[in-house]
């Protein structure tokens, strides 16, 4: 890619590194991802949602038709290329279009409606990388497909809020709510909006000058100062909302009040994807406003039809996991580390190694997180490594211990050690670690 500094260098000399805006997730950060995924899975399961994973790669028209050609995402930000069969494919920039494609393709209309799905996946946008904006980023999202009722919109917003609450960051965000109307009420509004901007084009940024023709509603949420001043003066959608949309919006607000969810009615929220109709919302940072919104969503009742299906209403939201992690760190939210090791196994000589290999498996099967220095030589080097792992206990086995059928248990903090018969060692370690601290793993209740 042209703006990647590494592209300027000779391929042979080039230091191998990740592309700009596309990052490794290193073990320390994985602890956050694991925790967030657990919270999302838990909350979604409790509400009857089932998990779906659509492919990372779709035919490009899934997004062109779904998200809309006039949006920044489709216009500028998609990773699109031809596959070896000369078909245009795209790395998915968002989750909703793929989920609706899948709903239609797999005849999910036959299932009890609404179909409630969630996903936790990487997405790709060729955006300008900056803090909180990456080219590969993870989102979790939910979609409620097949029914239309403001209570469903309220449930989706509530679910998003509760997940944020469980993650310890709900208080950092305000819910900005709007209803951008249906085709009926929006047509007249768009006309009047365009008329308002006629003659003022020169005060708009170049993006907004383009949007005026293709997607005038987006002029309302441009972040540039001059465009914002004009947007304040532009006609307000509220006066154009038809009675049905008015009623839907009023009911949604009543339901949110009932759920005790605070929101700000913000007529300037329009969202960056074309498929939205009616309800739209964003979770804004209370300090930074629209910059680095943590999540957003809304209703997309016309999307299935745009994608060649029967009219099918839907509502959903998605949130950016990297932005959530940044906020959790800012708030000093600590997540449990599952990576701490219980036991280090040190051994000397091949006979001891032979005994230690199956012993390590037995310890692990019992839920004891165990590492061994199978490649290290001296006992000193092995114990040094045990210190690095910060284990509470080390098991030591040498030629004498093999002969006597014992294992030495060394308490690392006290520096004390004692022999334990090898057949008793697993349960002895369980006593030391505590049954409640074991990393229990069971392959579940599958029937083989």
Tell me the Cα Rg of the chain. 28
- The binder of ligand HAM chosen from 64, 94, 116, 221 (CB under 6 A): 94
Tokens 């019992």, residue located? 366
CB count within 10 Å of CB 209 equals 15
Among 173, 150, 377, which residue's Cα sits nearest to residue 279?
Answer: 150
Give the one residue of 150, 181, 298, 372 binding ligand HAM; rule: CB under 6 A: 298
Out of 29, 61, 75, 127, the only residue in the binding site for ligand HAM (CB under 6 A) is 127
Asked if 125 interacts with ligand HAM (CB under 6 A), we say yes
Site for ligand HAM in 306-345 (CB under 6 A): 316-320, 322-323
Considering only residues 54, 96, 312, 370, which one is a binding residue for ligand HAM as defined by CB under 6 A?
A: 96
Cα torsion 435, 441, 446, 448 to 10°: value is -100
What is the x/- site pattern for ligand HAM, positions 366-405, by CB under 6 A?
----------------------------------------
Does residue 68 interact with ligand HAM by CB under 6 A? no
Under the binding rule (CB under 6 A), the answer on residue 294 touching ligand HAM is yes
State the Cα–Cα distance between residues 99 and 104, nearest whole angstrom: 9
Q: Strand 279-285 and strand 406-411: pairing?
A: unpaired
Under the binding rule (CB under 6 A), the answer on residue 173 touching ligand HAM is no
* Cβ at position 290, least distance to ligand HAM in Å: 10
Q: Which residue has the tokens 């004390």?
A: 416
CB neighbours of residue 305 within 10 Å: 11
Q: Give the integer Cα–Cα distance in Å for 363 and 365.
A: 6
**CB of residue 35 to ligand HAM, shortest distance in Å:** 17
Residue 296 within binding range of ligand HAM, rule CB under 6 A:
yes
Token pair of 161 as six digits? 């809020």
The C-alpha angle with vertex 278 and arms to 273 and 282, in degrees rounded to 5, equals 55
Binding mask 220-239 for ligand HAM (x = CB under 6 A): --------------------
In whole angstroms, give the CA distance from residue 81 to residue 381: 52
Q: Which is nearer to ligand HAM, 313 or 372 (CB)?
A: 313
Q: How far is the CB of 231 from ligand HAM (least distance, A)?
A: 19
Tell me the site size for ligand HAM, rule CB under 6 A. Answer: 27
Whether the Cβ atoms of residue 234 and residue 196 lie closer than 8 Å to each other: yes
Calculate the alpha carbon distances from 399 to 164, 406, 419 in Å: 55, 10, 14
Q: Verify binding: residue 141, ligand HAM, rule CB under 6 A.
A: yes
Given the complex with ligand HAM, which of 101 and 323 has the nearer CB atom? 323
The smaller minimum CB distance to ligand HAM, of residues 267 and 278, is found at 278
Residues that bind ligand HAM (CB under 6 A): 94-96, 125, 127, 132-134, 137, 139, 141, 143, 272, 293-298, 300, 316-320, 322-323
């Amino acid at each position: 890619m042209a703006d990647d500094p590494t592209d300027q260098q000779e391929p042979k000399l080039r230091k191998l590194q990740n592309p700009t805006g596309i990052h490794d997730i290193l073990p320390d950060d994985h602890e956050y991802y694991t925790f967030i995924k657990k919270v999302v899975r838990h909350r979604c399961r409790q509400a009857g949602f089932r998990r779906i994973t659509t492919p990372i790669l779709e035919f490009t028209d899934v997004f062109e038709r779904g998200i809309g050609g006039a949006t920044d995402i489709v216009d500028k930000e998609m990773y699109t290329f031809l596959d070896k069969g000369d078909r245009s494919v795209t790395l998915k920039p968002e989750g909703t279009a793929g989920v609706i494609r899948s709903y239609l393709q797999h005849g999910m209309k036959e299932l009890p409606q609404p179909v409630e799905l969630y996903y936790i996946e990487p997405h790709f946008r060729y955006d300008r990388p900056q803090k909180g904006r990456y080219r590969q980023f993870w989102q979790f999202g939910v979609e409620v497909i097949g029914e239309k009722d403001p209570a469903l919109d309220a449930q989706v917003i509530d679910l998003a809020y509760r997940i944020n609450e469980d993650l310890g960051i709900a208080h950092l965000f305000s819910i900005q709510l709007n209803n951008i109307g249906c085709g009926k009420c929006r047509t007249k509004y768009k006309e009047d909006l365009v008329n308002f901007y006629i003659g003022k084009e020169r005060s708009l940024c170049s993006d907004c000058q383009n949007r005026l023709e293709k997607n005038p509603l987006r002029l309302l949420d441009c972040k540039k100062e001059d465009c914002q001043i004009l947007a304040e003066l532009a006609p307000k959608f509220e006066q154009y909302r038809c009675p049905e949309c008015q009623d839907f919006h009023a009911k949604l607000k009543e339901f949110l009040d009932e759920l005790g969810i605070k929101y700000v009615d913000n007529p300037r929220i329009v969202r960056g994807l074309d498929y939205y109709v009616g309800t739209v919302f964003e979770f804004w940072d209370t300090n930074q406003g629209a910059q680095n919104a943590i999540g957003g969503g809304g209703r997309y009742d016309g999307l299935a039809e745009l994608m060649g299906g029967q009219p099918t209403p839907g509502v959903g939201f998605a949130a950016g996991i990297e932005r959530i992690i940044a906020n959790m760190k800012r708030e000093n939210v600590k997540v449990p580390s599952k990576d701490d090791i219980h036991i280090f196994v040190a051994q000397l000589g091949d006979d001891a190694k032979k005994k230690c290999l199956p012993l390590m498996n037995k310890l692990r099967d019992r839920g004891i997180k165990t590492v061994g220095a199978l490649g290290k030589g001296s006992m000193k080097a092995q114990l040094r490594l045990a210190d690095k792992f910060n284990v509470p206990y080390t098991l030591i086995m040498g030629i004498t211990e093999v002969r006597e059928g014992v294992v030495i248990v060394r308490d690392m903090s006290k520096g004390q050690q004692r022999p334990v018969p090898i057949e008793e060692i697993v349960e002895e370690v369980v006593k030391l670690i505590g049954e409640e601290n074991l990393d229990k793993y069971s392959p579940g209740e599958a029937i083989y």
